[in-house]
Structures are given as C-alpha cells and as structure tokens.
Structure 1
C-alpha cells in the first residue's frame, strides 16, 4: 500500500463492512427463537442458548479487544466473520441441543471479536490521511445508519422468507421432506446469512488495506492478555470523559435490555396471539432500526445545534429516556391512544440512541490513542452487555406492568444527567492503554503516539 485511502473511499468501505456484518444477524432476529422451538427445544433450553451467547461475548470482550491492536483490524474482522459463518450454519442445520448451544457460543465469540476493529480501521485511516483533528462524526454516523438499515432489512426479510416459502406449492414443506427435516423454512434465513458472511470475509480481506505490523507470535499475544484485561478494567478510572462514555454505554444497555425483553410479550398481549404478536414485534424492531439509522444520520447536525458533542449526547439520551418513560406510562392500557403513544415512545428510544452513538464515539476516539482504540471499544461494549444482563435479571423478578419499563427509563435518564457538566475538549490524552504486545504500533506510522485530542464516545 503506497499510502492511506482517501476519506471518502475509507468511509464507503467502512459502510459496506457495516452492512455485510450486520445483515446476517438481522436475518436471524425474527426466526431464531421460532426455529429453536420447531426443533423441540424448551424455553429453558432456549434461555440457556442465549445465556451461552451473552456470557461468551462478555468473557471474551477484553481478551479479544486488544487483538486487533496487535494483529491488525482485517485479520480479526475476518476471524469474526468465520465464527459467525460457523455459528449460523450450526443454528440453521443443528438439531441437537449441544450443537445449537455451540452455535450461540460461537456467535458470542464473533460478537466479541467484531466490537471495534472496523471502526478502529476507519478512524486510523482518516487520521493517517488528514491528521488527528479530522472529522470523525460524519463517517461514524454513516456507519451507524448503515448498520441500522442492514438490521431493519434483515429483520423484515428474515421474518417474511419462511412465510413466503409456505405459499403456493409450499416449497418449504417439500424442502423439509427432501432434506429429512434438516432444512426447515425457518432455517433458510440463517443459511442465507451464512452465505452473506462468506462475502463479508472476502470483502474484509481485499478492501481494508493496512500497513504491515510487527511480527507477533501467538505465545506473545496470549502472554499479554492479562495486561490487556487489567488495562481495560482500569481504563475508565483514569479519565472523567471516558468514564462518562462507559457509564452511558451501561445505561444504554439497560434501556435496550428492557425494550427487547418486554416488547415481544406486550405485542402478543396487544394482538391476542403469539404468532401475530411475533409479526408485530418484527415490524416494531424494523421500525426501531430505521429510527436508529435516522438518528445516526442526524448526529452531526445535532452536535452543531447543541454546540458540542457532549450536549448532543445529553439531549439525545434524554429523548430516549422520555420514550421509555412513555412506554411505562402506557403499559397498563390497551386503548388505541395508548398504543399510538407506546409506538411513539418505542421510536424515541431508538432515535435518541442513534443520535447519541456517533457523538459518543467521536469523543472516545479523540481521547484514546490508536494503539488502544479497539480495546477501548471492547470495554465500552462490555459495559453495555454487563448492564444489559443485570437489568434483564432484575426485570425478570419484577411484576409485569409499568415498573420494568420505568426502571430502564430511570437508568437511561441518569446516564443523560452525567453530561450536564462538560469536560475540557483539549485536555492531554492519557497514557496509551496496555495491549497484548508492548511494541504495538498504530495502524499508520504517521499517527503513532500523536493522537493528543480528546475523543468522542460510542453507543
């Protein structure tokens, strides 16, 4: 590679990576639980599968976070795609509980590997081309919009495809019979997602150029993992702005856990049947992703209108909190008016989180050196997942009604209030976070150790 890509090309490739990575996962949202049920799995077993996913992702977030800082963004992204390819194949074709559980665990591992490398590659490329002061928010916003669009498209298509296979000559039944029930109509979206993962891996390996990194043995990487984990755990304590970003990510995880756990049951109650409730939930999920994408697109404008990224984060989280509180206030009613208000609240949650994400990430990247950028994103993702898991356990113990919704809204409102007092935008950058290899260089030599401005935060 003779030099870093120009910003427009880097943005286009970053957006393409976002679409190719999240589209397969969107295809699984509607059919996955129904497929597990069709395979004869009980709800207890299904809950265990999802626990395997969450615990694997949480356990590997920090150990894998520094890998892309050492081995390279492209290699780690390709590994994440291969893990997801294997996971989707096992989920689509597996019939035994251990195969399905393994598939969910592998998807959790792929989730941990993917949390940061693509974004870190984009930021490194922009910094190498235009310097540390270059605008990041616009490209990050476009990536967020692309992610939401991919999830929305995948959710709709993944929910509709099994139904379409049952029309006309009933291709689904004939396909199931021909494969001895190995491939069900509900399996098709997952297998289609596996095919997209192949395209994702090939694109990552060919379209994301990086400069050569120092040769690193597997033993050296593994030996440095404890330092990476400890450095990640100490990360938020050294900087007030980064600490706010991590706490905001935790608050967002709490809000998302509430809305994702409570909405399916509320939809089924509203329609009177689980099947029609599932269709309504798929439509709502798609609408939520659309609102999130619109919010990401509006993030640069929101930051300009608010006067800073910090104020934009505070206002947008306030919007999301008001949406959850509105959902809580209408939880006990089933009238047309309350249903409309609840739908508005649902959209506000995702709209606000979509606006906040790019500004948060922009703040984070200006605070973190390139050598620790992917690790920082992993810490952020870990905070969101752990708080989401804790909130889910609490919600499961609470009585149905407004209280669980209000819990999520209150936590998110507290996250918004963290941003009342602004940080100085030009304070010195903290010491680089430890990575698995002490001689790790930045993605481009021209930016190594020069990232002295404070970054924005991620969702």
Structure 2
C-alpha cells in the first residue's frame, strides 16, 4: 500500500475537489427557477419540484453517509458527481414535468451522497500521515473558502451567460431554433455545470487515493449501512460535544433559511421594483459567498486569537446573530442609511458563519473515529437542513416586519451561547461509531 498523502497535498486536493463540486451549483442557481418557468411550469409546479429535491436530501442524508463509511469515500463521491451531472443535463434539456422531477430527485440524491465523503477523506488522509492530533483547521478553512469562492464565481457566470446570449436582436432565439427548443439561453449555465461535473468525477477517481477497504458482499453493505446510521444517531444524541455541534448547525440553518426566504422581498422593497430587486439580490448573494470565503479563510487566525475553537465559535456565531438582528431592526427604516446597515448586517451573517464552520467541524472530527466520520457529518448536515426548513416555514407565516428576522437572529444567538462553557474533558478520546466487522476498512 502506498504511503498516505502529506497534509499539504491533501489540503490542496481537498480544496480543489470542493471547488469543483460547488462551481456547478453556483452556475445553475441564478437560472434554475427562470428556466423551469420558461418550460411552461407554474409557480405551484416549481414549488413541488423543489420539494422533491428537499425531501430526497432529507430521506437519503443519513443512509448515504453510512454508505460512505462502509464502502469508502471515493466511490460515493464519484457517484454523487455522476448523479449531479446527469441531473444538470436533464434540467437543461427537459421540457416535461416528469423529466424535471427526475432531475430534482437525482440532484437531491447527489447532494445527499456528497455530504461528508470529501471532508472525511481529507481528515482520514491527514490523520493517517500525522496521527490523531494532526492539525485540521487550515484544510477545513481552505475548503470552506474554496466552496464559497466557487459559489460566488458560479453565480456571477451563471447570471451573465444567459444575459450575454440574449443581447442580440432576437434575444437568443437562435439557440432554441437551432436545437428544436431543447437549449435556451437559460439552459447554458447548467450545461456548463454538467461539464464541470465531469471534471469533478475524473478528479475524484484519479486524485483522491484512500486506504483499501475489505471487499464486502451486497448483503453485508446493506446490513452495515443501517448499523452505522444508528451509531451516528446515538453519537449525535449522546456525546456532549457532537450534540452541541449538531445544534449549532441547526441554528446556522435557521439563520440561512430566514435570510434566503426574506432577502429577495427585502431587496425589492429597498430598490422599489422587482427587477432592480433581483439585481440587488444577485449582487448580495455573490457578496455573501465572498464574505463566507473570507470568514472561513480567517478561521484559524480566529482560533489563535480566541484561544480555543469553542471561544472562536462563540465569537463567530455571535457576529452572525448580530448581523441578522441588525437586518431585523432596520426593516422599518428607509433611506440610504437603512440600505448601508442592512448590507452590513447581511455581510456579517455570512462572515460569521464562514468563520464558524471550520471550528465546528474540527471539534466534530476530534470526537468521531474514521468509521463513522461521514455519518456524523451527515447528521450535522441533516440538522442544518431540517431546522432551517422548519424555522423558514414559521418565519414565512409571521407578520411582515422585524419579527421573522428577529426569530432567526434569536435562534442563532441561542446556538452561539451553547459554547459559553467549554466541554470536559478538554481533549476527549474519539467516540466510535459501530460498524459491522464484515464491512469495516482493511487495516
């Protein structure tokens, strides 16, 4: 067996694979809803299609995390890439509701499969080279920055491509005519995303080596996944540190759910028109991703200044909560000052969440052994999505005004306050997630 990659190489490849995964997401974000609408789908149908994606992610989050812990990181990550690029092709070319529903199902499946394997691969590789006490913050921070940079770049490109193709006198109708209506200007960003997805799969298969695992029969895999999932759930409920990490992820999900739900309307209200509000929202989304990248890059410095990951988490999440509360208290204000304060609050939200992510995950990886690492990440991701969806539903039913924003800010502040008291002991032994021996990794 070849020697494990050195930490510097592992960090570089982890950041690269993270960038390649999130770039297609940024490419299709600006055009997704508009493209489906151009295919003749009503708003109710579009909402149902997005529900297919959300329910698929929620249903498969934990089983796919367990699958990665059983059969390996690389095959699951490659499968996620194949599903994503297939979904993007169907989204770009599909004209019927069932084709688009299949695209959303495949996209949700790919998202669930991708939740954890790359990060678990990085931690496994670094610890195999340098031992359980290996430094993780730098790699986690750089991957967070890479994800945010990919989303920012993809959002700008995904918004600009259809606009550039529609500049001619026929507003891009030539593209649909040349392809019998299959390819519209809005189809181009997801098609580019599919091409990037192919590069992603190739990179995963050729550049992410991992220790060989024992070959397992299909029945052993099917038996091992539920056992690993149950072990991850027990860990999330029973371990003090992991429980706080999961709750913190849920609080961050609540904040993001409120921001994503309310910001488009707030942007339109500030600018006075839906069209100009859409432009402002796209600009804010890109700025938010940039702030996330900056916060993630600064996370190791924040830990050094704060003296511990726990204190850094408290400060970062407190900063995000301050930004969200600032957005809430400026809802009733008008004029340039309100716009400046609202934009500042928006930036603080993403800056703090970006800085908190690497510290959260570093604490998580210190508590979880390799056999259950991807499952633990899936538990964390599931909490973020479910609590975010729940708080978003509640916020959407509250009266317009400061209250919905203050709800998200309060939940996020509660998540920050979880880290006032440091866990004991300070350097605990990793907690094992039980995996059947027939499916465990080879020594």
Coarse TM-score class (shorter-chain normalised): over 0.9
Moved more, 345-354 or 31-40: 31-40
- 2:34 corresponds to: 34
Question: For the structure 1 residues 267 and 428, does the alpha-carbon distance in structure 2 shift closer, same or farther, using more than 3 Å as the test?
Answer: same
Classify the secondary structure of the residue corresponding to 1:425: coil
Question: How far 1:169 moved relative to its partner?
Answer: 5.8
CA RMSD of superposed structures (Å): 1.4
TM-score (structure 2 length as normaliser): 0.97
Task: Answer whether contact 2:291 2:351 (CA < 8 A) is retained.
Answer: yes
Please give the alpha-carbon distance, in whole angstroms, between the structure 2 residues aligned to 1:288 and 1:418: 25
- 2:391 corresponds to: 391
1:427 aligns with 2:420: no
Please give the alpha-carbon distance, in whole angstroms, between the structure 2 residues aligned to 1:240 and 1:12: 32
- 1:278 corresponds to: 278
Please give the alpha-carbon distance, in whole angstroms, between the structure 2 residues aligned to 1:440 and 1:314: 39
Moved more, 325-334 or 141-150: 325-334
- 1:140 corresponds to: 140
Query: What pairs with 1:284-299 in structure 2 (closer than 5 Å)?
Result: 284-299=284-299
Question: How far 1:225 moved relative to its partner?
Answer: 3.2
Task: Answer whether contact 1:371 1:440 (CA < 8 A) is retained.
Answer: no
Task: Answer whether contact 1:172 1:185 (CA < 8 A) is retained.
Answer: yes
Please give the alpha-carbon distance, in whole angstroms, between the structure 1 residues aligned to 2:434 and 2:389: 27
Query: What pairs with 1:9-408 in structure 2 (closer than 5 Å)?
Result: 9-168=9-168, 170=170, 172-408=172-408
CA deviations 1:318-347 (Å, max 9, x no partner) are 000000000111112231100110000000
- 1:455 corresponds to: none
Task: Answer whether contact 1:323 1:344 (CA < 8 A) is retained.
Answer: yes
- 1:457 corresponds to: none
Question: For the structure 1 residues 35 and 273, does the alpha-carbon distance in structure 2 shift closer, same or farther, using more than 3 Å as the test?
Answer: farther
Moved more, 327-336 or 304-313: 327-336
Moved more, 248-257 or 384-393: 384-393
Question: How far 1:413 moved relative to its partner?
Answer: 0.2
Question: How far 1:402 moved relative to its partner?
Answer: 1.0
Please give the alpha-carbon distance, in whole angstroms, between the structure 2 residues aligned to 1:63 and 1:149: 29
CA deviations 1:248-286 (Å, max 9, x no partner) are 000011000000111111112222332322221111000
Please give the alpha-carbon distance, in whole angstroms, between the structure 2 residues aligned to 1:439 and 1:407: 47
Q: Which runs of 5+ in 1 are unaligned?
A: 446-459
